[in-house]
Amino acid sequence: MFNDLKPLTSSPSKLEYVSQSDIQGLTGENPYAKSEEEMIKEYDSSVSTPQMIFLGLNEQNQSGFAFKEYKGAPFFAVDVSPEGSRAEEANKIISAVKGKGWDFLAGRMIMSLPATEGKSTSGH
């Protein structure tokens, strides 16, 4: 999760992850249920939607997603910045993660996060 481009962390050196159910109030149960044609037809510029970017699959976790030879837990970056029509729900999500003692790490360049390629950092 990101809030105003700041990543969710529990310390300056540890990213924190949330599950889809934690942000479902903002993204809906299945944000990809509609076809591109349906999304274009129903588009309303007064409704703010969170930006979601597919980052890849965690192949160490074989549960979750399977397509052909690809298996793993999908990871997304999600913007929860409280803006427009989504501000109230975004603020609820932000309050919930802050209630766990987590926060969004501010800084133009964050150099305190370790490279953990190939290692599971959160068990997700």
Give the pTM.
Answer: 0.75
Q: 87-99 and 20-27 are packed helices; what angle lies between their axes, rounded to 10 degrees?
A: 160
For 32-42, write each residue's pLDDT tens digit: 888 999 989 99
H-helix or E-strand containing 25?
A: helix 20-27
Tell me what the mean pLDDT of segment 91-95 comes to: 96
Burial 49-80 (b: 16+ CB within 10 A, else e): bbeeeeeebbeebeeeeeeeeeebbeebebbb
